[in-house]
Amino acid sequence: AFEARREDFYGLEADYPPESVQARDMVRQWVTDHIRPQAGSWWLEGRFPTHLIEEMARLGVFGPTLPEVYGGSEASALTYGLMMQELERGDSGLRSFASVQSGLAMYAIYRYGSEEQKQTYLPRMAAGQVIGCFGLTEPDAGSDPGAMRTTARRSDRGFILQGAKRWITNGTLADVAVIWAKDEAGIVRGFIVPTDTPGFTAREIHTKASMRMSVTAELYMDQVEVSPDAILPAAEGLGAPLGCLTQARYGIAWGTVGAALDCLDTSVTYTKSRIAFGRPIAATQLVQERLADMLSEVVAMQLRARQLARLYETGRLRYPQVSLAKRDNARGALTVARMARELLGGNGISVDYPPMRHLANLETVDTYEGTYEVHTLILGRDLVGENAF
Ligand code: TGC
Ligand code: FAD
């Protein structure tokens, strides 16, 4: 009863449809069985469990909201969100893998691709047979992707891509990269680039002290020639990649709830059994204050995520609303993870327990998909109509 109470303190689950609860529980069980026991060591080794990709596909976490004809299950936004929550309860890197595959690479093809591109790629991506990555950020253009330098120029046989991308999740695992580049007129275009195309190289970044269970890479494109059917026909301008980001940011708003819940659970269990000064530390007022603060943060995060799902499902979602949830849920989860780490004392800094791993991962989550400052400025612009970037 205690566990159910802290998991759903405001009784949100009462109006979840049974299929959403079922999908959530299935992913949660799988993460408990297959990820949780090994997460600390994979994280330390800096390794993503690639042998589990096909099982993740069988769970239906790649492109679940897409139509069945493209390999999806026409899942609701709520179901998708709850799946992301459960993956990130395991590790942010696991959720990132699914976010990039679904919300970024598959969504780009689904939203901006031709019918032929959709049929060629989406069912195999949903099945985990084709892995995608999403190349928007560059060494000198992160928060301001409009400053990208990668170019696409027409050739006799299609397009020639030239440039570099940095910080690309799944970069060295990917079979196809969705690459954003400027054409001769300076308009941002999207391309589906098979990663074995001559001139394309991916190099893994090994120096991360965060998100270690996720593969991150630099991509180099030296005169990479792709066929005319590699271009995403409906993508024109920066709004196209930004539209994909909205999908992934929605998943982050939910995913971070999972990381925070794991930290809260761990803290409650730990403080009830850890004895200091002759009694469990959970019986002290200062520790209970901490736990209450963590719960309060978790509930605020859950309410934001839940309402975002409602807005999404009723076609009312505006991207600044997603910005608010991404910004504040990433920060909320960081706050909860930091408190959890403290409550575990010395054990709090070890990957034998999840809080430090979540805390380190969440530093990335706070930065990628738009930093705290970027989302603050999106909200400022939405409030006063002035662009302060
Ligand atoms: P701005 O004038 O704001 O926008 C250009 C056009 O795009 C539209 N737009 C959006 N549409 C949909 N969703 C959004 N989130 C949108 N944001 C903007 C906008 O309406 C406009 O359309 P139109 O028709 O008027 O032209 O362009 P700006 O150059 O001023 O952009 C500013 C800013 C800060 C909003 C934007 O560039 C930004 O969001 N920067 C942050 C970049 C970022 O988030 N990069 C993420 C890279 S991918 C990643 O991190 C993956 S992590 C792995 C994982 O997810 O797990
Ligand atoms: P910068 O843009 O250089 O920002 C540096 C600092 O300046 C930040 O604090 C920022 O908020 C602040 N700042 C910038 N502009 C302003 C302003 N106008 N006012 C106030 N402050 C400002 N990208 C992809 O395309 N695909 C991926 O798959 C991907 N995966 C990632 C995985 C990891 C592990 C990481 C760390 C990043 C990933 N990214 C990916 C990149 C990520 O989206 C960028 O790191 C992020 O958008 C920030 O860009 P930047 O690192 O260039 O920082």
- Nearest ligand 2 atom to the CA of 364 is 36
Mutate to test the pocket of ligand 1, among 242, 254, 382 (most ligand atoms within 8 A of CB): 242
Residue 389 Cβ contacting ligand 2 at under 6 Å: yes
Which ligand is the nearest neighbour of the Cα of 387? 1
Which ligand is the nearest neighbour of the Cα of 251? 1
Please confirm, yes or no, whether 138 is among the known catalytic residues.
no
User: What is the predicted pLDDT for the residue at 18?
Assistant: 98
User: What is the predicted pLDDT for the residue at 234?
Assistant: 98
In the structure encoding, which two tokens stand for residue 126, read together? 């949903």
User: What is the predicted pLDDT for the residue at 3?
Assistant: 81
User: What is the predicted pLDDT for the residue at 285?
Assistant: 98
Question: What is the CB < 6 Å shell around ligand 1?
Answer: 96, 99-100, 134, 136-137, 143, 145-146, 169, 237-239, 242-243, 245-246, 248, 319, 368-370, 374, 378, 389
User: Looking at the predicted complex, does its ipTM rise above 0.95?
Assistant: yes
User: What is the predicted pLDDT for the residue at 2?
Assistant: 79
Catalytic residue among 7, 19, 369, 373: 369
Over the chain (389 residues), the average pLDDT of each successive run of 10 is 87 97 98 98 98 97 98 98 98 98 97 98 98 98 98 97 98 98 98 98 98 98 98 98 97 98 98 98 98 98 98 98 98 98 98 98 98 98 98
User: What is the predicted pLDDT for the residue at 108?
Assistant: 98
d(CA 63, CA 104): 10
User: Please, which residues have CB within 8 angstroms of residue 134's CB and are 6 or more apart in sequence?
Assistant: 100, 104, 105, 108, 168, 169, 177, 178, 241, 244
d(CA 386, CA 370): 19
Instruction: Give residue 370 CA to ligand 1 midpoint distance, Å.
Output: 8
Closest to 108 (Cα-Cα) out of 194, 191, 214: 191
